[in-house]
């Protein structure tokens, strides 16, 4: 790994692209660090599936930013906290909602493709990939900040974050999320939600028409339903394979 890094740095210096190399270095090393951390706890096959699912999700955000002509940085991965893609603030709240939805939408496409391959081949691996990808993206659709679902709901009607908080706590308890991770996630989203509840209004909200809110809401429901269906079908397929005779 050190040899590979040295070669990359040598090429960057030779072609006077050191700054460009540094642009890719942090995302690459954060990816490798997260991969090693997940592999330590879950093993390499599951770690690779998780990281590739996260990468596809974040690249969805990245290309959505670029589609709207907004500058964005490549995804940075945080072990056991997921990943994030930093970009400029969209001038319209509806655009911001679609940038947030782009990640789960790409995740839905990936999960659906994995499920289709698993269905055609009856391979447990592909069904597991669909199951994991759909679950990770569905979890991210919880309507509470800092999740993507929270950003989307913030463009529709911020008070719905209250329902998101309840949903997050219920899901976290159901799947056994460690308390310290729950606390970290809550701290990341609390400042923006608290500011909104105290009356601070996003200035972009004034331009959000009812039709725009309806469009965002329909796209949110479409991705939510799609991920739920893929998750259910992949989970059922895994159960059928487990119960089938050898």
- The predicted pLDDT at position 23 comes to 60
Q: Kindly report the number of other CB atoms within 10 A of residue 144's CB atom.
A: 25
Range of the domain at 95: 89-243
Strands 76-78 and 82-84: antiparallel
Please state the φ and ψ torsions of residue 143, each to the nearest 5 degrees.
-75, 60
Nearest alpha-carbon partner for 167 in 189, 200, 194, 192: 189
Residue 143 inside a domain? The answer is: yes
Q: Kindly report the number of other CB atoms within 10 A of residue 194's CB atom.
A: 10
Nearest alpha-carbon partner for 51 in 73, 74, 26, 76: 76
Rg of the chain taking only CA atoms, in angstroms: 20
- The predicted pLDDT at position 200 comes to 84
Query: For the segment 24-58, what is each residue's pLDDT rounded down to a tens digit?
Result: 666 788 888 899 999 998 888 889 999 999 999 99
Residue 198 inside a domain? The answer is: yes
Residue 97 inside a domain? The answer is: yes
Residue 14 inside a domain? The answer is: no
- The predicted pLDDT at position 197 comes to 81
CA distances from 101 to 105, 143, 160, 193, 228 (A): 6, 12, 17, 19, 15
Residue 79 inside a domain? The answer is: no
Give me the numbers of helices (H) and strands (E) for the chain, helices first please.
9, 2
Residue 239 inside a domain? The answer is: yes
Q: Is the dihedral of CA 9, 14, 19, 23 positive or negative?
A: negative
- The predicted pLDDT at position 223 comes to 97
How many structural domains is the chain composed of? 1
Nearest alpha-carbon partner for 152 in 104, 184, 209, 82: 104
From CA 86, how far away is CA 4, in angstroms rounded? 27
Residue 10 inside a domain? The answer is: no
Structure tokens given for 207: 């331009």
- The predicted pLDDT at position 18 comes to 43
Stretches where the chain sits below pLDDT 50 are 1-2, 4-21
Helix (H, G, I), strand (E, B) or coil at 175: helix
Residue 76 inside a domain? The answer is: no
How distant is the alpha carbon of residue 110 from its chain centre? Answer: 12
- The predicted pLDDT at position 202 comes to 84
From CA 38, how far away is CA 153, in angstroms rounded? 30
Place of tokens 């939510």: 224
Q: Is the dihedral of CA 99, 101, 107, 109 positive or negative?
A: negative
- The predicted pLDDT at position 24 comes to 63
């Amino acid at each position: 790994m050190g040899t590979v890094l040295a070669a990359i740095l040598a090429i960057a210096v030779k072609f006077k692209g050191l700054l460009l190399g540094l642009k890719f270095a942090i995302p690459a090393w954060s990816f490798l660090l997260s991969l090693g951390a997940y592999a330590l706890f879950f093993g390499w096959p599951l770690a690779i599936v998780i990281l590739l699912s996260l990468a596809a999700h974040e690249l969805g955000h990245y290309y959505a930013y670029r589609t709207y002509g907004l500058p964005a940085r490549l995804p940075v991965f945080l072990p056991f906290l997921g990943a994030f893609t930093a970009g400029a603030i969209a001038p319209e709240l509806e655009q911001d909602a679609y940038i947030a939805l782009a990640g789960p939408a790409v995740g839905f496409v990936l999960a659906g493709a994995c499920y289709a391959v698993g269905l055609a081949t009856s391979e447990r691996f592909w069904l597991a990939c669909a199951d994991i990808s759909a679950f990770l993206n569905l979890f991210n659709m919880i309507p509470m900040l800092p999740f993507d679902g929270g950003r989307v709901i913030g463009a529709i009607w911020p008070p719905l974050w209250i329902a998101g908080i309840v949903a997050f706590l219920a899901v976290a308890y159901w799947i056994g999320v460690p308390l310290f991770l729950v606390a970290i996630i809550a701290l990341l989203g609390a400042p923006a939600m608290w500011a909104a509840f105290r009356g601070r209004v996003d200035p972009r909200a004034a331009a959000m028409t009812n039709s725009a809110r309806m469009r965002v809401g329909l796209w949110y429901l479409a991705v939510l339903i799609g991920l739920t269906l893929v998750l259910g079908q992949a989970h059922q397929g895994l159960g059928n394979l487990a119960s089938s005779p050898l």
